[in-house]
């Protein structure tokens, strides 16, 4: 398990580079699962682009795309300077 900025625990699932599923989508699916299962609760900080990149061994751009997908699905809200927070309520 990994710990986010606010101390919340998330499961860091290793990305499968040989998989046909894009890396950003694998990270998106992992974070989406954490949110839907309550591992990342409403209002919790989501790991930063830098943290996600280091955790999964991917570039910051790949991590940014995963966070963008979460925002498109209205699971998180991204704000400059304050970070990304979970807005989905189970």
Rounded to whole angstroms, the Cα distance separating 63 from 24 reads 6
| H helix or E strand, kind and range, residue 67 | helix 60-72
Per-residue model confidence (pLDDT) at position 61: 98
The answer to whether the pTM exceeds 0.85 is: no
Where does 2-86 sit in CATH, by number? 1.10.10.10
Per-residue model confidence (pLDDT) at position 49: 97
Domain boundaries, the chain: 2-86
pLDDT along the chain (90 residues), means of 10: 52 75 97 96 97 96 98 98 94
Per-residue model confidence (pLDDT) at position 1: 47
Rounded to whole angstroms, the Cα distance separating 88 from 75 reads 5
| Rg of the chain over all Cα atoms, to the nearest angstrom | 12
Per-residue model confidence (pLDDT) at position 79: 96
The token pair at 1 is: 């398990």
Cβ-based neighbours of 13, under 8 Å, separated by 6 or more? 26, 30
């Amino acid at each position: 398990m990994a710990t986010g900025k606010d101390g919340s625990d998330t499961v860091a699932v290793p990305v499968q580079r040989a998989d046909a599923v894009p890396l950003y989508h694998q990270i998106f699916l992992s974070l989406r699962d954490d949110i839907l299962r309550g591992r990342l609760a409403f209002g919790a900080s989501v790991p930063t682009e830098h943290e996600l990149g280091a955790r999964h061994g991917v570039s910051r751009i790949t991590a940014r795309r995963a966070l963008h997908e979460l925002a498109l699905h209205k699971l998180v809200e991204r704000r400059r300077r304050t970070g990304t927070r979970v807005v989905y309520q189970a």
